Amino acid sequence: MSTAITARSEGPVDCQAGGIPRDHVAPNATQSTLSHFVQELTVLRGRLHDPHISAEIRHSLHEPGRLPDKETAALAAQAVDLLHETERMLQPSHLILADHFLGMLVYLCRTG
């Protein structure tokens, strides 16, 4: 599932691109990476909706009157953290600004 990219360049290195020199990242490489990412997430989401896995998640994490399963909760937390980090990386700045602005307005309306 992982792909190794080796590049030989003395040019500037983009740390956000996994240390790949900027002059070696093709313009369509971003779209290809995002397309692959969307496909993989779609497949994984489908697997989470499988009746057996979905029931196990409900039983392990959401059972009323029970503490969540330690190992499952740790993996779920790691997955949520990775998804949140990815969301912050991919969300355009104008949407982040709008979200914070609307959040501030809601707060001001509630506090009067």
16-66 pLDDT, tens digit each: 555 655 566 666 999 999 999 999 999 999 999 999 999 999 999 999 999
Q: What is the pTM of this model?
A: 0.64
> 72 with 29, same domain?
no
> 73 with 45, same domain?
no
Do the domain assignments include residue 42? yes
Do the domain assignments include residue 61? no
pLDDT in tens, 61-110: 999 999 999 999 999 999 999 999 999 999 999 999 999 999 999 999 99
Tokens at residue 4, please?
């190794």
Tokens at residue 51, please?
């009746």
Q: What residues make up the domain containing 33?
A: 1-49
Return the amino acid letter for 102: L
> 40 with 73, same domain?
no
- Judge whether 69 and 61 are in contact, CB under 8 Å: yes
Q: How many domains does the chain have?
A: 2
> 41 with 80, same domain?
no
